[in-house]
Amino acid sequence: MPTVAELTGLYGNFMTGPRPGPEVCSLCFNFTDGFPRCYACTHGESWLDVVAPISYSVAREQLHHALAGYKRLTGEVARRLQVELAAVLWRYLAEHERCITRAAGSDGFELVTTVPSSDRDRDEAHPLRRIVGELCGPTRERHERLLKRSAAPAPEREFRTDKFELVRPLSVRSILLIDDTWTTGATAQSAAATLRRGGASHVAAVVIGRHLNREWHHNDRRLRSIPRPFDWRRCAVHDGSAAR
Ligand SMILES: [Zn+2]
Ligand SMILES: [Zn+2]
């Protein structure tokens, strides 16, 4: 059995860890032109205490392919990607969950759940739940499916407080949400809104990839300014506080 370090070795060569800064959104780590928040985070609702992206996911580059492939492909290739992405999440949480807990003002996340797919059919057997609920050591004991897609109509990338509903009434106050990709944040924020309205007082999100286009504006220069290889000892959150 390969170790977590072995499974993530290759990923360290192409992952790019977000860092806070004057041209970085203080919530989702998108690059900005000097504004404290990016367009989507300024104009959308925020129900999350903390958003912690493990890496940027640059369109059409390696991490983007892995994050698309683990759920679109089938068979051995998909299973291997799921194991690798679970190892990425494992290694990151083992090192940094306490940073996220602290930034969220929580004593510890009692439950870990995933952001459901906006697509009801796809959500029925989503491989992200296998990653979080079976493969990833730091989360599997605490994982529970808490959210499902509601019957309300909701376009894929639109924030809606009624997009998701609780599977059961909440009995815990502090919940860690996991998603594969953050683009506008509308889906994760919709999930967080349902958890908070259901009684959760602390909700933080860990996302594996914060989606970016390299061609957009100065993104290429900014991505290149982040040191390589990926440093597992650092995270976006303990380099500065990402709070709403
Ligand atoms: Zn943002
Ligand atoms: Zn950290």
Nearest C-alpha neighbor of 28 from the set 38, 15, 16:
38
What percentage of the chain carries pLDDT values higher than 90?
90
Using the mean position of ligand 2's atoms as its centre, give its distance from the Cα of residue 97 in Å: 7
Using the mean position of ligand 2's atoms as its centre, give its distance from the Cα of residue 94 in Å: 10
Using the mean position of ligand 2's atoms as its centre, give its distance from the Cα of residue 243 in Å: 14
Cβ within 8 Å of residue 94, ≥6 positions away: 4, 137, 138
Using the mean position of ligand 1's atoms as its centre, give its distance from the Cα of residue 58 in Å: 16
Q: Are β-strands 174-182 and 111-114 bridged in parallel, bridged antiparallel, or unpaired?
A: parallel
Beta-carbon neighbours within 5 Å of ion ligand 1: 25, 27-28, 30, 38, 41
Query: What is the model's pLDDT at position 242?
Result: 45
Which ligand sits closest to the CA of 231? 2
Using the mean position of ligand 1's atoms as its centre, give its distance from the Cα of residue 1 in Å: 38
Using the mean position of ligand 1's atoms as its centre, give its distance from the Cα of residue 187 in Å: 13
Using the mean position of ligand 1's atoms as its centre, give its distance from the Cα of residue 82 in Å: 27
Query: What is the model's pLDDT at position 146?
Result: 97
Under DSSP, is residue 34 helix (H, G, I), strand (E, B) or coil?
A: coil
Low-confidence ranges of the chain (pLDDT < 50): 241-244
Which sign, positive or negative, has the C-alpha torsion 207, 90, 194, 115?
A: positive
Query: What is the model's pLDDT at position 138?
Result: 98
pLDDT, one tens digit per residue, over 182-199 is 999 999 999 999 999 999
Number of residues that this document lists for the chain: 244
Cβ within 8 Å of residue 63, ≥6 positions away: 11, 14, 15, 55, 56, 57, 208, 209
Using the mean position of ligand 2's atoms as its centre, give its distance from the Cα of residue 92 in Å: 8
Gap between the Cα atoms of 138 and 234, Å rounded: 18
Using the mean position of ligand 1's atoms as its centre, give its distance from the Cα of residue 119 in Å: 24
| CB distance 149 to 117 below 8 Å | yes
